[in-house]
Chain A
Amino acid sequence: MEPILFISILCLNAVATQTVPPTTQGLTSNMPHLTGCFSRELTTFHCQWEAGSFQNLTEPGDLRLFYIKASKTSEGNSKKHETKWNECPSYSSSRRNECYFNSSNTIIWFSYGIQLRSGSLDVVYDQMFFSVEDIVFPDPPVGLNWTVLSMSSSGAICDVVVSWNTHPSAVESVKTGWMSLVYETQYREKDSEQWILMDNGKVMEAYVYGLLSNVEYEVRVRSQMRGYNYGDFSESIFILIPYKEPRIPITSVLIFAVIGIGVILMLFIVSRQQKLMVILLPPVPGPKIKGIDPVLLQKGKLNEFTSILSTHPGLRPELYSNDPWVEFIEVDIDEPHDSQEELLIADSPVSDSPQMSSGFRDDDSGRASCCDPDLSDHDQTDLHHTSTSGHDGFHLLSRAHSRSPQPVAVCPQDRAWPNSLYSQVSDFTQRGEVVLSPEEQEIANSCCHNEAVEDNENNKRKELQWLTLTPDETGYTSEITANVISAQHSKPNSPITDQLPFTELSQDPNIAFREPQNLTDSSPLSMVFPILAMPPSPDYTMGEGVVWKNSLLLKPNTETSPQKTVVKTFPTLEGYLTAEFLDDITG
């Protein structure tokens, strides 16, 4: 109950009175009323009133102002008649209807009550209550001026600094710390209605960014005692920045410079096209045989080529037999073979050339005659000897079948083995003769891409195919050395099987080529030596003895080849591999 009554009293009083701004009542025009009390610097204040439309109150002294320093009153009791009201200490002489309270009468942080009474003190026209700090309206700052802070390169946008000073009345207060004033700046374009506000704090300058040239702006500042009321606005100043044409059009200069550089670059590229192509995309070196001019091959002068080769001590006429011979081994995927022996035994000799030749493919484009794909008897025995002798430089490339029953991939035979001028050497005999090895790399590559296993095996096979003929032949060195490496790899894995192919070979002397053993691990090498994965140059192909059905069946190796997980990063092979490099790879 009591709170409700209290609320109602509050509401009534709230409607009736106001602290600041001055009260607005329905009978404002008629009755005398207080227009407001103001303080400028928290030291003094004054109150003003209006007489209204009462004609008999225009005399000074008709309306009197009384104040009370409201002190101890019971809460909830808004009546003040029991406390003493004092009359205005000094009615302002300069203005009518104003009462001035000097500094000794101004109690700060204290509530005042002001009453407007009639001359006879019996009618209270108006009253208000306030605390002095709540009616502080600081004077506006003075001395506004502006300077250009910076201008954009095009001259269209610029930044301005507006600065001002405190009002003289507040200077002392601010200096002593009695009042702390903060400022607010407002600016707008001349014709717009919306002011843009900036809160500066205590700093007496404002940075206005982004003003357009040739547009007039209006700026004004007002001050505020922090936490209380804002004072009046200062006089507005107008900013107008003339637009200056930029002396140097920097953007256009930049554009022209960029275009010029681009044109020069284009000219340079066009004029030096060939050289640039050579620099950027160097040609892939072709395979070379020492002493043989590849130009001859290009021109198709095979006769000279043949003569050159025939004069080579290593290239014996038996290499150029006209007998067609199988060139490379075709691996038959679909036919699992238990062992290679039966294949080898069942192999037809070299003389059974048609059978064998059908199994071999060759896409050789430059050879006129058929190279002798088969190793001669003495070569085979030589191979055997050399293998057993443990020639470290050139090992008989033996393959170890990585997976026992798994057949090697069958590559569709779509190439024929034409009579080729030369073939790649697979081994050197002790007498210095060259033993050619069949080439099945391309076949293996071309057909066995689908299955990774077969691919690996084929890669292994072809890697084993070649030995380094000469150390400094870049074309084959990698392959040969890879084969060597792979031979070395396979060597520790299948020491037992090393002997087997040779025995088989010995059993089948007609087989010109050794049975390549599967590499136990060839995938890293094939990855390492990408040239091995590529078909060799079509100048010649390597043929290898093919077993029956035109498929090269590898000897199954019971040992599972350990996967070499460690793939060493091999450097690009330029030149031949040194022994140390081989050791690194194998070790």
Chain B
Amino acid sequence: MILMIFFSLSLICCEVRQVCVGILLCSLQATIVPALDCSGQGLEGASCTISVEKLLDRAVQHAVLIYRISEESKMMFEEMFIPLSVMNPHVYGGTLCAPRTVAFPATKSEIQQISDKWLLHSVLILIQSWIDPLADLQVSMESYDNAPSVLLNRTKWLYTKLMSLEQGVLILIKQILGEGGLLLDIPEKTSDLLDSPDIFESVRRDYSVLYCFRKDAHKMETFLKLLKCRQTDKQNCSVF
């Protein structure tokens, strides 16, 4: 199963239009894939898993790519639909993005002090909170008249990649924290559903989704990178 998941990860990776990053990911994953020499059938007595470093590498690459694509999607959306930066997300007092029910570590010092467990869980909660809004975003954007297909493809890609990342993080939690490390705490849906046909509202909502997702993607990427640094070189990464 691990094999299939990460094989799917690598396959999806190679469909990305971002040639440079895609090639990077593909090349990195291509180097990783041959290292898998087990059938994944649960052979007794044979350790048939990918090492944590490689898993983390893949997760980091996914997060980096997701962040870059979300950044580009947001910019593209801005160019298309948001004229002259009228919508300043901070005008609302910085609450354009829906607040979290779970308190995340905020400052860097806090972040560096929290344990791996909380880092992973934070990432997982973040990912899970965005899967549904991205699905809604896809539906909403398809209802536009002049949404460019590139943008639609990117949102679709983000959605699929986020799902893959979720799978990867779950596996990481199992590997790093053991079997009982997963806290099932699915956040409630905070996205308001599509019941307002007003185009302005939908544009605003979609833009807020993209903006906030980009911010959280950056967060995910940072968390995973920190985690990777900790796993590989514990001494230097703990000091801030």
Q: Given A109-B218, A129-B93, A178-B225, are A3 and B198 also a contact pair (CB < 8 Å)?
A: yes
Determine whether A571 belongs to the interface, using a CB cutoff of 8 Å to chain B.
no
Closest to B238 in A: A176
Complex Cα spacing A108 to B218, Å: 10
Determine whether B91 belongs to the interface, using a CB cutoff of 8 Å to chain A.
yes
In this complex, the interface size class of chain A, counting residues with CB under 8 Å from chain B, is 35 or more
Determine whether A93 belongs to the interface, using a CB cutoff of 8 Å to chain B.
no
Bitwise, B71-111 to A at CB < 8 A (1) or not (0) is 10000000000000111101111111001000010111111
B88 touches A13 (CB 8 A): yes
Closest Cβ of chain B: how far from A86's Cβ, in Å?
A: 14
| List of A residues within 8 angstroms of B200 by Cβ | 3, 7
B95 touches A70 (CB 8 A): yes
Interface residues of A (CB under 8 A from B): 3, 7, 10-11, 13-14, 17, 19, 42-43, 70-78, 80, 103-113, 129-131, 133, 172, 175-178, 180, 201, 226-227
Interface residues of B (CB under 8 A from A): 20, 60, 64, 67-68, 71, 85-88, 90-96, 99, 104, 106-111, 198, 200-201, 214-216, 218-219, 221-222, 225-226, 228-229, 236-237, 240
Closest to B91 in A: A13
| List of A residues within 8 angstroms of B109 by Cβ | 103-104
B91 touches A14 (CB 8 A): yes
Complex Cα spacing A105 to B110, Å: 10
| List of B residues within 8 angstroms of A13 by Cβ | 88, 91
Other-chain contact of A110, B67, B86, B94, B198 (Cβ < 8 Å): B94
B94 touches A176 (CB 8 A): no
Other-chain contact of B86, A7, A76, A172 (Cβ < 8 Å): A7
Closest Cβ of chain A: how far from B198's Cβ, in Å?
A: 7
B86 touches A109 (CB 8 A): no
B91 touches A227 (CB 8 A): no
| List of B residues within 8 angstroms of A73 by Cβ | 92-93, 95
Q: Given A3-B198, A109-B216, A113-B93, are A227 and B108 also a contact pair (CB < 8 Å)?
A: no
Other-chain contact of A75, B67, B95, B229 (Cβ < 8 Å): B95
| List of B residues within 8 angstroms of A172 by Cβ | 240
| List of B residues within 8 angstroms of A78 by Cβ | 91-93
| List of B residues within 8 angstroms of A112 by Cβ | 94
Beyond A108-B111, A109-B219: 13 further Cβ-contacts under 8 Å?
A7-B200, A43-B108, A72-B95, A75-B95, A103-B108, A109-B106, A110-B94, A111-B90, A131-B90, A175-B229, A176-B226, A226-B67, A226-B71
Closest to B70 in A: A227
| List of B residues within 8 angstroms of A75 by Cβ | 92, 95
A133 touches B218 (CB 8 A): yes
Closest Cβ of chain A: how far from B227's Cβ, in Å?
A: 9
B201 touches A72 (CB 8 A): no
Closest Cβ of chain B: how far from A128's Cβ, in Å?
A: 8
Closest Cβ of chain B: how far from A387's Cβ, in Å?
A: 83
A103 touches B107 (CB 8 A): yes
A133 touches B215 (CB 8 A): yes
Closest Cβ of chain B: how far from A546's Cβ, in Å?
A: 86
A107 touches B107 (CB 8 A): yes
